[in-house]
Amino acid sequence: MNEIWRMIGRRLLLGLLTLFVISVVIFGATELLPGDLARELLGQSATPETLAALREQLGLNDPAPIRYLNWLWGVLHGDFGVSMATKKPIAELVGGRLGNTLFLALYAAALSVPLSLMLGVLAALWRNSVFDRMSNALALTSISFPEFFVAYILILWLAQTGLFPSMVRITASTTFSERIYMGFLPALTLTLVVTAHMMRMTRAAIINLLASPYIEMARLKGMSPLRVVLRHAVPNALAPIINVVALNLAYLITGVVVVEVVFVYPGLGQLMVDAVTNRDIPVVQAIALIFASAYVLLNLVADVLSTITNPRLMHRR
């Protein structure tokens, strides 16, 4: 147990170091954007006095390292600053949108994870059968198309027929059942994109174990193939399966930008695109850091769960 806590501590320190490097990259990338931010906000007709006053207000006259340290200090205290477009606190803008994005990610995960695990187990059980080949072909077909293309195909087939709305209008008063109904098409789009990867990894992990001696012994004892896979193969294949599921969950949170834009879904992705359009740099920085934090956290969870399910990973060879 102490080894697990030490491993968690090392992963946390590595994650914090990674987030620090990412914060430097995010701030530096926004600094390299061309043009004068004050002039972009005030327009070409702004007077030199007005431009100078805005630069002083935004801290643009300070050196870049000082501005980065001030921004990082605010982030560590939960203060992301104020939006330049709406003049509202960024934490207030991000709060509601973050809940919508997490809901969509969990909705897609609830559809994709059981589906991909079931298809992966059945494809491994019926290896080289018609079902195996068809499921692999359909999975590769769905993952080959970009998200926006899959989204527009679903809109053409399911939204124009009136079954589901093509635009998601979620407010604070929207009930849970209405969220489920209106968010079905975005969630289905994400499900079709991530299911293939998880299904193929599950299939490969189980097939790799089916040639093990203990699997052969279970077969010789007269166990049914399904019971052999579920009772003996799946538990020992959990480590790679957990890793791929965690990576795809991270994608569901951080890779929803295109899907949210297509369906006008009020999440962080849509807010980030609007912020880029309005050149609202503090909002872009905050959302990029939130996405990076979610990715690092889910990778940490995947490492911990993989180690718990396979204690051999704790011992060096």
Q: What DSSP letter does each residue of 195-264 carry, written as one string?
A: HHHHHHHHHHHHHHHTTSHHHHHHHHTT--HHHHIIIIIHHHTHHHHHHHHHHHHHHHHHS-HHHHHHTT
The CA distance from 107 to 112, in Å, is: 9
Nearest partner of 40 among 274, 275, 280, judged by Cα: 280
User: Which pLDDT belongs to residue 1?
Assistant: 61
Let me know how long the chain is.
Answer: 317
With cut-offs at 50, 70 and 90, classify the pLDDT of residue 311. Answer: low
pLDDT at 106 over 80: yes
- Domain boundaries along the sequence of the chain: 2-76, 96-314
User: Which of 30-34, 154-158, 226-230, 261-265 is predicted least confidently?
Assistant: 30-34
For residue 107, what are its two tokens?
Answer: 């909705």
> Each residue of 59-82: pLDDT tens digit?
777 888 888 998 899 888 888 888
The CA distance from 2 to 5, in Å, is: 5
Whether 94 and 290 have beta carbons less than 8 Å apart is answered as: yes
pLDDT at 10 over 80: yes
- Residues paired with residue 82 on neighbouring β-strands, in sequence order: 89
Whether 310 and 238 have beta carbons less than 8 Å apart is answered as: yes
Q: What's the pTM value of the predicted model, to 2 decimals?
A: 0.85
Nearest partner of 196 among 131, 121, 137, judged by Cα: 137
> Each residue of 229-278: pLDDT tens digit?
778 777 777 778 888 888 888 888 877 888 999 999 999 999 998 888 88
User: Which pLDDT belongs to residue 109?
Assistant: 92
The CA distance from 252 to 244, in Å, is: 12
Q: Which residue has the tokens 């007005």?
A: 50
With cut-offs at 50, 70 and 90, classify the pLDDT of residue 187. Answer: very high
pLDDT at 316 over 60: no
Burial 114-130 (b: 16+ CB within 10 A, else e): eebbebbbbbbbeeeee
Q: Which residue has the tokens 């004050």?
A: 38
User: Which pLDDT belongs to residue 188?
Assistant: 93
**Residue 174 CB neighbour total at 10 angstroms:** 15
Nearest partner of 88 among 282, 290, 292, judged by Cα: 282
pLDDT at 18 over 70: yes
Q: Specify the amino acid at residue 242.
A: I
CATH of 96-314, one of 3.30.70.580, 3.20.20.70, 1.10.3720.10, 3.40.50.360: 1.10.3720.10
pLDDT at 309 over 90: no
pLDDT at 286 over 80: yes
Counting DSSP H helices and E strands in the chain, the numbers are: 16, 0
Q: Give the CA-trace dihedral at 192, 196, 199, 201, to 10 degrees.
A: -150
User: Which pLDDT belongs to residue 20?
Assistant: 92
User: Which pLDDT belongs to residue 110?
Assistant: 93
User: Which pLDDT belongs to residue 35?
Assistant: 66
